[in-house]
């Protein structure tokens, strides 16, 4: 836990669970007190009740014993000692129950707080962050790493306080009985702590490697499960299986290496513990034979020594587990300390029904090559604007800038004369509806997917009719209650696109963008949808991105992009009248005939 970022994040994770950890620690301390009393009772019983030595007890305890009748009363009623031990054990059981109860509450509260913090923060991280971090790795951090932190705090951290008190008080009692023998037991403690510290970094480094490999493995599994249709369509099952097994082998080998290190760690611990017990038994027996130690003291001393071995060894385990938890906290801290998307100071909503203007916009992803280079054009408010361009021409980047998922490297994008970078991001996105070529549908019903923005039944049916999906849905066995499956896997490509269009229409955004979102429907359906949209979207600024020229012929103006630059700009009639990319593609599609999607 040397990572400073982890130390800053830890108080946030423990918020809400601290009181349960405190109660758990207090219960554990009371349990320790009960455990420490029993060896003393046994010592007095052996030396003073069974034997005839005067009881060695604190003055308060001696006074209390005398009021009860002294040692003679205990000799006459040996059952009283058994009852006293049984009573202490009952209290021990109660405190152990409370300790386990508060520990469970603390652990689960910690998990809930951490996952809530992670999910809430991830929701506000910029689009760029999501593009740079694999989904499988994010999920692994939100599940396995969170669980590992819970296990450490619930099972290891809370026991530290009990172990410290147990060690201090046990050693105090042992020194009071025989300081020479206590010194023998004490000598082993620095050895245990020393090898635990030496193993700490080795365990941490190996566990970091295990955690990273688990993230890679989770990413491979997540990609293959979501892309199972593509894998099977191309017959890549064997390739993907080999890829998964290769990474799984790396992951397994990293865990085997970690287990070897842990095995060495525990072997050294077993050896030191066995040596400690052996030395205490041998030397204690010698002292008893010489009369330097009573039988009761030796039995009590052996009890305390046995009580110490487990906690001290556990202290070594806590150090090793702390290495793992430290790695997990650092990985979670990387998410929680990633800068959230923020609006500029004084950001105010602006009019979204005015002209959209790209003013000399240039853009690149990180340190990559220029994607858009000095792009300038205007989309009149309430008009229909088309965008045409080949793969890699910058069409999708243009739309990401309009949705304010990215900001231009140079230039600016304005709506109604106001720079959208000076508006709240949520305001911009709420007023810019977009349908992607590969729309994402949630694993819910058709009704829930269309009405995700809170639309009523009437609005859902109307939007579905406009998107020409109503007829398809009514033919489903369960109609609008039909589950579409993960990512809409049970629907065809054209049906997914039309459901996504209907979903956008329910938002009634003043700017609507269709990113090649009619590519999976046939020409006849395409025409029907465009005719319905033309009726429904009067006064709405509509941007159509398409490779199909027939889709763009009804636009007021068309922008043609080529390698990130404006190649042509004008009405479809004007572009057809002069040589250029638009006319060339039009002639090609008309001569070959547009392919009808299956």
From the list 513, 195, 223, the residue with the least C-alpha distance to 385 is 513
Half-sphere exposure of 492 (CA within 13 A, CB side): 13
Number of neighbours of residue 265 by Cβ within 10 angstroms = 21
DSSP reduced 3-state for 235:
coil
Contact 594, 551 (CB under 8 A): no
Q: What is the side-by-side strand order in the sheet with 370-379?
A: 370-379, 356-364, 410-415, 418-419
CA dist 519 and 438 (Å) reads 10
Beta-carbon contacts of residue 590 (< 8 Å; ≥ 6 apart): 549
What b-and-e string marks burial along 7-21, b requiring 16 or more CB atoms within 10 Å of the CB?
eebbeebbeebeebb
Please state which of the four CATH numbers 3.30.565.10, 3.30.479.10, 1.10.645.10, 1.20.1560.10 is assigned to the domain occupying 4-336.
1.20.1560.10
The pTM for the full model equals 0.69
DSSP 356: E
Domain positions in the chain: 4-336, 356-592
What b-and-e string marks burial along 483-519, b requiring 16 or more CB atoms within 10 Å of the CB?
ebeebbebbebbbbbbbbbbbbbbbbbbbbbbbbbbb
Contact 598, 430 (CB under 8 A): no
Contact 2, 136 (CB under 8 A): no
User: Are domains 4-336 and 356-592 of this chain identical in fold?
Assistant: no
CA dist 86 and 141 (Å) reads 46
Structure tokens at 211: 């955690």
State the pairing for strand pair 418-419/410-415. antiparallel
pLDDT score for 520 = 62
Task: Using alpha carbons, list the distances in angstroms from residue 451 to 403, 457, 514.
Answer: 21, 8, 19
CA dist 332 and 116 (Å) reads 12
Q: pLDDT tens track of the chain, all 598 residues?
A: 445 566 788 888 888 888 999 999 899 889 888 888 878 777 777 767 777 666 666 666 667 767 766 677 777 777 877 888 888 889 989 999 999 999 999 989 999 999 999 999 998 888 888 888 887 788 888 888 898 888 888 888 887 888 788 778 777 877 877 777 778 777 777 777 677 767 767 777 787 788 788 878 887 887 777 677 667 766 778 888 888 888 889 889 888 888 888 788 777 777 777 777 788 888 888 888 787 777 777 777 777 777 777 676 676 667 667 777 888 888 888 889 888 888 888 888 888 888 999 999 999 887 888 889 999 999 998 888 999 988 778 888 888 889 888 888 899 999 988 999 889 988 988 888 888 777 788 888 888 888 887 788 888 888 888 888 888 888 888 888 888 866 666 777 778 888 888 888 888 888 988 887 766 667 777 777 777 777 777 778 888 888 878 888 888 999 999 888 999 999 999 999 889 889 888 888 877 654 443 3
DSSP reduced 3-state for 384:
strand
Phi and psi dihedrals of 568, rounded to 5? -145, 155
CA dist 240 and 234 (Å) reads 11
Number of neighbours of residue 107 by Cβ within 10 angstroms = 23
Q: What is Dmax (Cα atoms) for the chain?
A: 121
Contact 317, 325 (CB under 8 A): no
> Which parts of 364-444 fold into alpha helices (H)?
395-402, 425-430
Beta-carbon contacts of residue 439 (< 8 Å; ≥ 6 apart): 488, 496, 497, 499, 500, 517
Structure tokens at 381: 């408010």
Q: Cα–Cα–Cα angle for 464, 535, 420, nearest 5°?
A: 85
CATH 3.40.50.300 applies to domain 356-592: yes
CA dist 379 and 375 (Å) reads 13
Write down how long the chain is. 598
What does the DSSP assignment read for 452-499? TT---HHHHHHHHHHTT-HHHHHTSTTGGG-B--GGGTTS-HHHHHHH
Half-sphere exposure of 268 (CA within 13 A, CB side): 18
The kind and range of the H/E element at 13 are helix 4-13
DSSP 291: T
Beta-carbon contacts of residue 446 (< 8 Å; ≥ 6 apart): 473, 476, 479, 480, 481, 482, 484, 499
Contact 127, 405 (CB under 8 A): yes
Q: What is the side-by-side strand order in the sheet with 541-545?
A: 432-435, 511-515, 541-545, 384-389, 557-562, 565-570
Beta-carbon contacts of residue 65 (< 8 Å; ≥ 6 apart): 55, 57, 71
CA dist 462 and 201 (Å) reads 63
Task: Using alpha carbons, list the distances in angstroms from residue 55 to 37, 70, 248.
Answer: 15, 10, 64
């Amino acid at each position: 836990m040397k990572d400073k970022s982890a130390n800053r994040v830890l108080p946030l994770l423990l918020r809400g669970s601290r009181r349960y950890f405190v109660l758990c620690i207090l219960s554990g301390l009371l349990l320790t007190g009960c455990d420490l009393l029993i060896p003393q009772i046994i010592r007095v019983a052996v030396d003073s009740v069974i034997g005839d030595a005067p009881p060695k007890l604190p003055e308060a305890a001696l006074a209390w014993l005398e009021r009860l009748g002294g040692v003679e009363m205990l000799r006459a009623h040996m059952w009283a000692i058994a009852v006293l031990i049984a009573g202490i054990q009952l209290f021990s059981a109660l405190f152990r129950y409370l300790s386990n109860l508060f520990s469970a509450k603390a652990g689960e509260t910690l998990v809930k707080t951490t996952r809530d913090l992670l999910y809430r923060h991830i929701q506000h991280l910029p689009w760029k962050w999501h593009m740079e971090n694999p989904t499988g790795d994010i999920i692994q951090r939100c599940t396995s790493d969170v669980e590992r932190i819970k296990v450490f705090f619930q099972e290891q951290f809370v026991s530290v306080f009990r172990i410290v008190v147990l060690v201090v008080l046990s050693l105090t009692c042992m020194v009071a009985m025989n300081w020479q023998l206590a010194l023998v037991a004490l000598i082993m403690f620095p050895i245990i702590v020393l090898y635990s510290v030496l193993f700490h970094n080795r365990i941490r480094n190996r566990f970091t490697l295990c955690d990273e490999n688990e993230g890679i493995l989770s990413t491979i599994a997540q990609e293959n499960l979501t892309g199972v249709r593509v894998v099977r369509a191309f017959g890549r099952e064997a390739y993907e299986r080999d890829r998964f097994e290769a990474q799984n082998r790396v992951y397994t080998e990293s865990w085997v290496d970690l287990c070897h290190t842990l095995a060495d760690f525990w072997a050294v611990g077993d050896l030191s513990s066995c040596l400690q017990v052996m030395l205490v038994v041998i030397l204690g027996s010698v002292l008893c034979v010489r009369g330097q130690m009573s039988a009761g003291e030796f039995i009590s001393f052996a009890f305390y020594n046995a009580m110490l071995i487990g906690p001290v060894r556990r202290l070594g385990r806590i150090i090793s587990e702390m290495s793992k938890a430290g790695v997990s906290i650092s990985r979670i801290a990387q998410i929680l300390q990633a800068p959230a998307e923020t609006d500029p100071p004084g950001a105010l909503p602006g009019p979204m029904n005015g002209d959209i203007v790209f003013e000399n916009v240039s853009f690149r992803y990180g340190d990559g090559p220029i994607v858009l280079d000095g792009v300038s054009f205007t989309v009149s408010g309430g008009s229909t604007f088309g965008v045409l361009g080949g793969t890699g021409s910058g069409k999708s980047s243009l739309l990401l800038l309009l949705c304010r998922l990215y900001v231009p490297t140079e230039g600016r994008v304005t709506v109604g004369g106001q720079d959208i970078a000076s508006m709240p991001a949520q305001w911009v996105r709420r007023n810019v509806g977009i349908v992607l070529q590969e729309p994402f549908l949630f694993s819910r019903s058709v009704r829930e997917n269309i009405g995700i923005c809170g639309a009523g039944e009437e609005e859902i049916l109307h939007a579905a009719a406009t998107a020409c999906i109503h007829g398809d849905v009514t033919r489903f066995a369960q109609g609008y209650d039909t589950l579409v499956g993960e990512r809409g896997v049970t629907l065809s490509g054209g049906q997914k696109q039309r459901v996504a269009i209907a979903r956008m229409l329910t938002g009634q955004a003043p700017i609507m963008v269709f990113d090649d979102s009619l590519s999976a429907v046939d020409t006849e359906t395409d025409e029907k949808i465009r005719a319905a949209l033309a009726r429904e979207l009067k006064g709405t600024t509509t941007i159509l991105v398409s490779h199909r020229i027939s889709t763009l012929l009804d636009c007021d103006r068309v922008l043609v992009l080529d390698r990130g630059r404006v190649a042509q700009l004008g009405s479809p009639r004007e572009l057809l009248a002069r040589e250029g990319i638009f006319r060339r593609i039009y002639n090609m599609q008309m001569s070959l005939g547009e392919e009808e999607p299956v």
